Structure 1
Amino acid sequence: MKLYRITRPVALALLAAALLTPVGRPAAWGQTPPEALQIMEAAKYKTAQWGLAVAELPSGQLLAGLNEEKWFTPAATTMLFTVAAAMEVMGPDYRFRTPVYSSGQLNFDGVLNGDLILRASGDPTMGGRTNAAGKLEFPMPDHVLADEMPVRLVKIDPLTALNDLARQVAKSGVKRVEGEVLIDERLFEAANQPYKDSPLTPMMINDNLVDVIVTPGEEGQPAKLDWRPRDGQTEIENHVTTGPAGEEPNVELKVSEPGVLMASGTVPAGGPPAVRVFSPPDIGAWARVLFMEALERAGVELAASPDSGNQAELLPEVDSYKNMRKLAEFVSPPLAENCRMILKISHNKHADVLPLLMAAHTGGYSFEQGLAVEGHALREMGLDTSAISLFDGEGGPLGNGVSPRAITDLLRLAVTRPWAERFRGCLPVMGVDGALAMAVNRQSPLRGKAQAKTGASLAWDLLNQRLCLGSKGLAGYLTAKSGRKLAFAIYVNNLPADDLEAVAAVGDDLTRICQALYEAF
């Protein structure tokens, strides 16, 4: 598994270097609405650099600009490039098809004298978010952030796809499997999510996470522990107690011995359940156990042991699948649904999977190849990629740099593509949904007029023991008061922040600038 990690000291050092880089006022300063300039020139932004581009659609004519050709740290607005490229390469209607094959003969008694092979398709959700309407559910904040803040869990079974595949296998006539149960993970090269020890793999169940749910009891009594998805191999020791009401939950997960996880700490009496997550060390072996248990629930007997791991050396040659019997197949919602989740709630992990999927879709294998495919797709669309630098799909703090003008160019080009409306529909709507749901109130004239992606990058200033806001961005489409259709990008980079409330106040200022653009044009 390839590892992409940036250490905190390196990140802080490069961030500090960025803080010392002066950015002057360009000639386009005078085109920026005075109300926007007043916000940008506030004392709290004395260390910061601002960037702005506003372009008319569909022509792309620049109506206002401020440092519009300079590079800024884009944070999660990077996902605009990632999603646009994925729609261009794979198409918004692309569906992941995850099959199960048999490698041997099935006799009249329902005994399979061979192996059962689930071939991973790269489906990032595997039915674990798909509701009855065929849409993906993604509450905010999502469970991937459980170790950072209170989250909400999707109420759909994360084992939906595995259970469905198992039932199909049973319906095909298989009653017992004498051979192995295998997961074929060869679609692309597994990698760790940039900046995180979080695996990106062709086989993904529940975002490759186990949700540990800790429910308080009576004060002084043990808390109740549960987890999902459940499997017979996972063991969690419960050392969490219920503390006084009103306290903050303090729950930690750590490995106490090989194969055993220990939960310790406290949760407050009368409080909601606390959620923590952990990633199994071997995703293939974990997914294999989950699939085996699903098969057994469906009535299929297995000779294989769940303890033997996922024996990849037993997998057949890739070309031989065309000669095998397909027993089952799970089909995902269209790719546009994954893109909608990525942009609406800024889902980093799924954004980082997209380059790997683009690589696999075009015959490649690695994360680097996927980013090369993305670059080629963007250039074919007409974008000058020399105006940007991308290191990942999510918009991490290093290696990513984009100019406001490059963003508006991308947005302009996107409206010319066959998937234009699908792309726009994936963006958060100002004051309505996603990350912008609470940005303005119901009475605001801006409500519903902007569809835009947010982005933020935070670091810890060790010298002064405070937060440092490396980047805050807002970019997307705007229907101005006059009715003009616009593409816009607003960035502010490099300023200290006393706390998270101060960070939120910067986001409010970007919304106020967007309001000024709405009124001015």
Structure 2
Amino acid sequence: MTVSLAVLATSSVQAAGFSHLQELGQQGYQISAQARLLGDSAEEPEILGSITPEKLLTPASVTKVYTAAAILDALGPQYRFTTTLKSTARPTGDGVLNGDLILDGGGDPGLTSEDLWRLTQRLYQAGVRRVTGQLLVSQWRFGPVECRTVDRCAVTERSDNAYSALLSSSGVNYGSWCVQVAPGAVGGPARVTDCNAMTPLMGISNTVTTQGANGATGLVASRVQENGTEHLRVAGKITINELPQEIYRASADPAAQTATILGAMLELAGIKVEGGHGTTSERPPSNAIRLAAVDGKPLQELLLRMLNYSNNYMADVMALDLVDEPQAQLDQAGETLEAFAAEIPGHGPVTLESGSGLTTGNKTSAQGVNSVLEYMYGRSELFPVFAAGLQAPTNGPMRHLRRGSQTFQSHVMVKTGTLNQPVAVRALSGYFRTTGQRWGVFTVLVNGTSNTPYLSWSRVLDLVSLDLDQMISQH
């Protein structure tokens, strides 16, 4: 009995650090939370508060902490993914390539139209003016990747968002199409143009009307499949004094999208491809030679974008990049992340089915995530890059974080995670710096149940900020 009382007393003291957050537990929400100070190599971390810290819950986009740590650990901040144009033929003296032109996708999670244009220019500089075969986009590393969520599975037919983009080692522009909507004449149609080409690269149905200066802008867009081709429907209103609005919708086939964009760029550069374009999951022939190549941005820049904007496409592509075998799938990517976590002292059990956190099957604990954060804090050569991807609430791009006291706003770096189906998930994790200049880590995972299906971010942030404010101020 004496031992049990001691354990209960210790638990109560630790939970007291999250005295406000406990209100959600009393209302039926599931919680795994822990905040602890980081000691030096000779010290044990000091736990400031915890609520069932080993409980396995869905972390949503806090999963991206694992993906960022694992790929930094494996490749280093300056690693660049390379996208290559190859062929088994060499251009003749008059610029003819008698064979197929193959884009060998290097798994670049940040490949953009600008990169494809640079690749096109380098092919032109290599002397190519005509291709007698096809333009083939090879996604032999991974793609098509089997969808694991309802939203992603629906994208092949229809897309009303960009966050559920499908995955490919040869995808461009984060697996999404982009159009720009600008006002026309008052009372007339708006102007809808492709963001990345002089003429639209897919069918566009535009029923957006231009309103006077006192009107209101409201746009609705869906990308659908019609007769085997992609088509964008844009409707609504835009005011005459509104700046052009960009709309992103997930592509039905990222590799085919790359082929379409690159094909248009080749034509614009004066390189004729006689055989059209297509995609393949086959590896380029071993005797294929490199005609042109482009290196993407350094990994440290890609991570900044992936973490700051919680880009699901980038996160899952990065996780797939960690798999050695060709034609990788998300299960293998998840296993690679799990193996990384298993090597971190004190982590404990974890299940990861994706690198983005879109999949509800991902399960980890506050203690586990904090172990990853502590591990990265100890990697002095990686920590600055890793931490830079987290948001300071006071100036981060996610406005819903700008809550709480000035102490919370300016002493915390955080990654958040959100899911709404089948239950609400609100998760946040990161580092804090106390007023005594000590570093700490914290993770809060809150999952709803069938009896508590909804939870606002403001409610969670208000409670967590009060608790962290006290911990920061008292140490």
Q: What band does the TM-score fall into relative to the shorter chain? A: 0.7 to 0.9
User: Which residue pairs with 2:203 in the alignment?
Assistant: 235
Change (3 A) 1:115 1:492: closer
1:367–1:420 distance in 2 versus 1, CA, 3 Å: same
Which residue matches 1:346? Answer: 310
> CA separation in 2, counterparts of 1:429 and 1:238?
40
1:165 deviates by 0.9
Deviations 1:117-160 (A, max 9, x none): 2210011222x3xxxxxxxxxxxxxxxxxxxxxxxxxxxxxx21
Residue 50 of structure 1 aligns with which residue? 31
CA offsets 1:65-113 (integer angstroms, 9 cap, x no match): 2211212221211111121111122222211011212311322222222
Counterpart check, 1:425 vs 2:425:
no
Q: Give the alignment partner of residue 310 of structure 1, picking from 253, 256, 279.
A: 279
8 Å CA contact 1:183–1:288 kept in 2: the answer is: yes
Structure 2 SS opposite 1:99 = strand
Aligned partners of 1:397 and 1:457 also within 8 Å: no
Q: 1:356 is aligned with what amino acid? A: L
Rate the CA distance shift 1:397–1:330 in 2: closer, same or farther, 3 A: closer
How far has the Cα of 1:437 moved from its partner? 8.4
Q: CA deviation at 1:367?
A: 2.1
Mapping of residues 130-209 of structure 1, within 5 Å: 159-192=113-146, 194-195=148-149, 196-197=151-152, 198-209=165-176
In 2, distance between residues paired with 1:268 and 1:481? 48
State yes or no: 1:84 paired with 2:92: no
**1:73 corresponds to:** 58
Inter-CA distance 41–212: structure 2 relative to 1 (3 Å threshold): same
Q: CA deviation at 1:221?
A: 2.6
Q: What are the within-5 Å matches in structure 2 for residues 382-461 of structure 1?
A: 382=345, 384-386=347-349, 388-396=350-358, 398-417=360-379, 418-435=381-398, 439-440=402-403, 444-459=406-421
Structure 1: unaligned runs, 5 residues or longer: 1-24, 129-158, 461-467
Counterpart AA for 1:37: S
**What aligned pairs does 1:221-260 form with structure 2 within 5 A after superposition?**
221-230=188-197, 233-242=201-210, 245-246=215-216, 248-259=218-229
Query: For residue 282 of structure 1, what is the amino acid of its counterpart?
Result: D
1:88 is paired with a residue whose SS is helix
Aligned partner letter, 1:191: V
Shift of 1:186: 0.4
Match of 2:162?
none
Q: 1:339 to 1:297 in 2, by over 3 A?
A: same
Q: 1:285 aligns with which of 240, 246, 256?
A: 256
**Partner SS, residue 31 of structure 2:** strand
1: CA distance between counterparts of 2:148 and 2:465? 29
Q: What is the rounded CA distance, in whole Å, between the counterparts of 1:381 and 1:112 in structure 2?
A: 51
Partners of 1:431 and 1:437 within 8 A in 2: no
Worse-matched range after superposition: 342-351 or 49-58: 49-58
Task: Describe the shift of the 1:82–1:167 C-alpha distance in structure 2 as closer, same or farther (beyond 3 A).
Answer: same
CA deviation after TM superposition for structure 1 residue 507, in Å: 2.4
Corresponding residue to 1:30 among 13, 21, 26: 13
Taking the aligned partners of 2:180 and 2:262, their CA distance within structure 1 comes to 22
Q: Is the Cα contact below 8 Å between 1:346 and 1:435 reproduced in 2?
A: no
**1:240–1:251 contact (8 Å) kept in structure 2:** no
Q: Which residue of 2 aligns with 1:41?
A: 23
Distance 2:48 2:458 in 1: 28
Aligned to 1:266: 236
What secondary structure is seen at the aligned counterpart in 1 of 2:287? helix
Counterpart AA for 2:322? M
Aligned to 2:340: 377
Structure 1, residues 398-430: CA drift from partner, whole Å, max 9, x if none?
212221111222211222234222212221123
CA contact (8 A) 2:408 2:465 kept: no
Aligned positions, number? 445
| Alpha-carbon distance in structure 2 between the residues aligned to 1:305 and 1:39 | 59
The one-letter code sitting in structure 2 at the alignment partner of 1:402 is T
In structure 2, runs of 5+ residues without a counterpart are 1-7, 153-164
Other-structure match for 2:110: 125
- Give the SS at the match of 2:391: coil
Contact 1:26–1:66 under 8 Å retained in 2: no
Instruction: Indicate how the Cα distance of structure 1 residues 193 and 214 shifts in structure 2: closer, same or farther if over 3 A, else same.
Output: farther
Distance in 1 separating the partners of 2:430 and 2:356: 16
Percent identical residues: 23
Preserved contact between residue 428 and residue 436 of structure 1 (Cα < 8 Å): no
C-alpha displacement of 1:256: 5.0
1:395: Cα distance to partner?
A: 1.8
Tell me, in whole angstroms, the C-alpha distance in 2 between the residues paired with 1:38 and 1:310: 54
**Match of 1:474, SS?**
strand
Of stretches 105-114 and 326-335 in structure 1, the one that deviates more from structure 2 is 105-114
CA contact (8 A) 2:20 2:464 kept: no
Determine helix, strand or coil for the equivalent of 2:410.
coil
RMSD of aligned residue pairs (Cα, Å): 3.1
Note closer, same or farther for the CA distance 1:353–1:224 as it changes in structure 2 (3 Å cut): same
TM-score (norm 2): 0.83
Once the two structures are superposed, residues 198-255 of structure 1 have per-residue CA deviations (whole angstroms, 9 ceiling, x without a partner) of: 3100111111211133334456432222223336652213233346823643444444
Moved more, 297-306 or 484-493: 297-306
Structure 1 length as normaliser, TM-score?
0.76
For the 8 Å contact 1:111–1:176, the answer to whether it is kept is yes
**Inter-CA distance 283–408: structure 2 relative to 1 (3 Å threshold):** closer
In structure 1, what is the Cα distance between the partners aligned to 2:222 and 2:359? Answer: 27
Structure 2: distance between partners of 1:378 and 1:39: 27
Change beyond 3 A, Cα 1:106–1:214 = closer
User: Residue 258 and residue 241 in structure 1: after superposition, are their counterparts in 2 closer, same or farther (change >3 A)?
Assistant: farther
C-alpha distance in 2 between matches for 1:432 and 1:339: 18
Asked if the contact 1:435–1:454 (Cα under 8 Å) also holds between the matched residues in 2, the reply is no
Structure 1 contact 474–489 (Cα < 8 Å) conserved: yes
SS in 1 for 2:459: helix
CA distance in 2, matches of 1:105, 1:421: 45
